[in-house]
Structure 1
Amino acid sequence: MIGTTLPLRDVHLPAAPGGWPPAPGWWLLLGALLLGLGAVVALRLHRRRRRRRWQSLFDGTLAAAPGAAARIGMASELLRRAARRRDPAAALLQGEDWLRFLDGGDGHEFSTGDGRVLLDGGFRRAVDEAEATRACALARGRFIALMERGQ
């Protein structure tokens, strides 16, 4: 046996790794992506629920008002509260400064449009129902915007 030689064979490479199961790094990446997606979905659902609560607060408060002038007064009060959440000094604004703040740089619906009735509509004996409805719709949108930015 000493004189016999063993036949040599070529080097055999191992088989290529399969695609399944993935390497641990891919599982970690998938987990991180799912966690991130879950966080985004949860945040959107939370914001949507919070927005619905603010809308129901606004609508419920105005529904309890006995007339158009009272609805204007309630809408104005809710806007003052929302403004105070965003900027404590904003709730102290009066007259045209208050209306410009409510415009918020997006337009002039409050300072020159239907929202002007918020200045004195709550103190009038009678307010046109259509005018009050338009002003309250503007106030509702601005209330929601102020509450969202106040966070």
Structure 2
Amino acid sequence: MAATTLVLRDIHQTAAPPWWPPAPGWWVVIAIVLALVVAYAWWRRRETRRRQAIARWFDGELDAATSAPAQIAAMSELLRRAGRRRDPRADRLHGEEWLVFLDDVEPVARRRRGSHGRTPVRVFSEGDGRLLLDGAFRRDVDAARVDALRRLARERFLRWMGAS
């Protein structure tokens, strides 16, 4: 018998798959990522428009007021509306209770003793916010105090309405 010799050949690897077009699974991943990006962009745009609308509402109400006492009354009304989002009984608070509510529901980020101090600034019950008590009933109100109150009220209103 004749011996047959087998010729051994080296193992050949198959060619690498092409980069394009990707496999169907990658198309699904790309579609999901694009859908998430579009959904996020839509949500972000909607939130930005909502925040801008709330800020325009506040500014429009105050710009429509013809006098400083009318502006203070408008600020008080808007803060009461925003306060009802925090506590349904907020519109029934009067006097010092109302100012304390404006201060204590969500402490102001600014501190008297620096960022590590424990005493929050009571801007409504001890500061410029006290003008809310009787400013709407005064004949003459200092314009600088009304502007300071407007900044405080706008900040609180936007925070409570979820626009800050």
* TM-score clears 0.5: yes
Instruction: Give the distance between the partners of 1:93 and 1:125, measured in 2 at CA.
Output: 24
The partner residue of 1:116 within 102, 113, 130 is 130
Instruction: Give the distance between the partners of 1:119 and 1:146, measured in 2 at CA.
Output: 20
Q: CA deviation at 1:10?
A: 6.1
Instruction: Give the distance between the partners of 2:125 and 2:29, measured in 1 at CA.
Output: 52
For the residue of structure 2 that corresponds to 1:148, the secondary structure is: coil
Q: CA deviation at 1:11?
A: 5.8
Structure 2 portions without partners, runs of 5+:
1-6, 109-120
Report 1:26-41 matches (<5 A): 26-41=26-41
For the residue of structure 2 that corresponds to 1:17, the secondary structure is: coil
* Number of aligned residues: 146
Q: TM-score, normalised by structure 1?
A: 0.83
Q: CA deviation at 1:95?
A: 2.3
Task: Map Cα deviations across residues 14-69 of structure 1 (whole Å, 9 max, x no partner).
Answer: 31212222222222222222222222221121111111111111111111212111
Higher mean C-alpha displacement, 140-149 vs 48-57:
140-149
Instruction: Give the distance between the partners of 2:161 and 2:91, measured in 1 at CA.
Output: 13
Higher mean C-alpha displacement, 38-47 vs 95-104:
95-104
Aligned residue in 2 for 1:17: 17
Structure 1 portions without partners, runs of 5+:
1-6
Contact 1:79–1:143 (CA<8 Å) still a contact in 2? yes
Give, as a single letter, the amino acid of the residue that structure 1 aligns with 2:49: R
Aligned residue in 2 for 1:89: 89
Q: TM-score, normalised by structure 2?
A: 0.77
Instruction: Give the distance between the partners of 2:87 and 2:125, measured in 1 at CA.
Output: 19
Contact 1:86–1:147 (CA<8 Å) still a contact in 2? no
Instruction: Give the distance between the partners of 1:42 and 1:22, measured in 2 at CA.
Output: 28
Q: CA deviation at 1:9?
A: 6.3
Instruction: Give the distance between the partners of 1:78 and 1:13, measured in 2 at CA.
Output: 74
The partner residue of 1:138 within 152, 160, 164 is 152
Which structure carries more helix by proportion? 1
Give, as a single letter, the amino acid of the residue that structure 1 aligns with 2:87: D
Instruction: Give the distance between the partners of 1:19 and 1:132, measured in 2 at CA.
Output: 66
Give, as a single letter, the amino acid of the residue that structure 2 aligns with 1:105: P
Give, as a single letter, the amino acid of the residue that structure 1 aligns with 2:83: A
Aligned residue in 2 for 1:47: 47
Identity %: 51
Contact 1:69–1:124 (CA<8 Å) still a contact in 2? yes
Q: CA deviation at 1:97?
A: 2.6
Instruction: Give the distance between the partners of 2:8 and 2:57, measured in 1 at CA.
Output: 86
